[in-house]
Amino acid sequence: MMTMNTLDKKVAFITGGGRGLGFETAKGLARLGIEVVLGARSPEQGQRAIDLLRGEGLSAEFLLHDVLNPDHRVSAYEYLDQRFGRLDILVNNAGIWLETENSSVEVPNHTSTLSEDLIRRTFEVNLMAPILLTQHLLPLIRRSAGGRIVNLSSLQASQTLHSDPLSLIYGIKPFAYSASKSALNSFTIHLAQELINTSIKVNSIHPGWVRTQMGGPAADLDPESGSRTAIKFATLLENGPTGGFYYEDEIIPW
């Protein structure tokens, strides 16, 4: 077991950390000696994730966190403030895809007939939740010597690729999901510019097509491989980029 005092370690909070990409991101950060606080909606799922991490000798804590619950934003701030007095890394990982069962199947273009409920639910989780949580936790991130905010976006967010008939995603048009992630990228750009004269870096990342509940069984990458880009940008050095959109070392066009 690690014996380093948690006050001497970086602290990371990861939403949707109970499974899939969030869990693998938590594991990867914990392996780097970072104190991980894992947010999950399900107490059973969250505790199971913590038990797995601690079983590997990794330092991690679980915080009940539903990204749509305003009280949970308040409790996250209070917990992190009282426990650590700051937050070094925020990974806005939680997200939903509602247009099809998962992203591994063909997605026909039903933009004109998508229900208001589906569009609103998608934007609430994929856009409003990370915006509001980031705003709420930003005072804690400002206390960090080098805060990092990582927004989990998607190749589907690229307006450039969606409008290019030669691109891989031209024929894949889940409007609600794509538009919510494009708007999340806009948040990344605007917040990064606001914080340009601070030590905080804000980036959007595409994890790749990952075999998770959202990505489906036909996806290219396992969750551990899919977590690499999030971990990379959560641990950027002082001279690292801000306000960008990346997959590993590749810049993705907006």
Where in the sequence is the domain holding 125, given as residue range(s)? 6-251
| Domain total of the chain | 1
Residue 1 maps to a domain: no
According to DSSP, the β-strands at 35-40 and 245-247 are unpaired
Do residues 124 and 133 make contact, with C-beta atoms less than 8 angstroms apart? no
Helix H or strand E encompassing 38 = strand 35-40
pLDDT tens per residue, range 23-42: 999 999 999 999 999 999 99
Instruction: Give domain status of residue 236, yes or no.
Output: yes
- Give the active site residue among 170, 177, 246, 247: 177
**Tokens in use for 199?**
């030590």
Q: Is residue 241 part of a domain?
A: yes
Residue 147 lies in a domain: yes
pTM of the model: 0.94
- Residue 34 belongs to domain with CATH number: 3.40.50.720
Active site includes 77?
no
**Tens-place pLDDT, residues 83-120:** 999 999 999 999 999 998 766 566 889 999 999 999 99
Tell me which residue of 55, 13, 62, 49 sits closest to 34, measured CA to CA. 13
With 0-12 / 13-18 / 19 or more C-beta atoms within 10 angstroms meaning exposed / middle / buried, residue 127 is buried
Domain assignment present for residue 183? The answer is: yes
**SS3 call for 92:** strand
Contacts of 13 (CB under 8 A, 6+ apart): 37, 39, 63, 76, 80, 87, 89, 90, 91, 137
pLDDT at 211 > cutoff 60: no
The pLDDT tens digits of the residues spanning 8-22 come to 699 999 999 999 999
Cα separation, 17 vs 26, in Å, equals 7
Torsion angle of C-alpha atoms 155, 158, 162, 164, degrees rounded to 10: -110
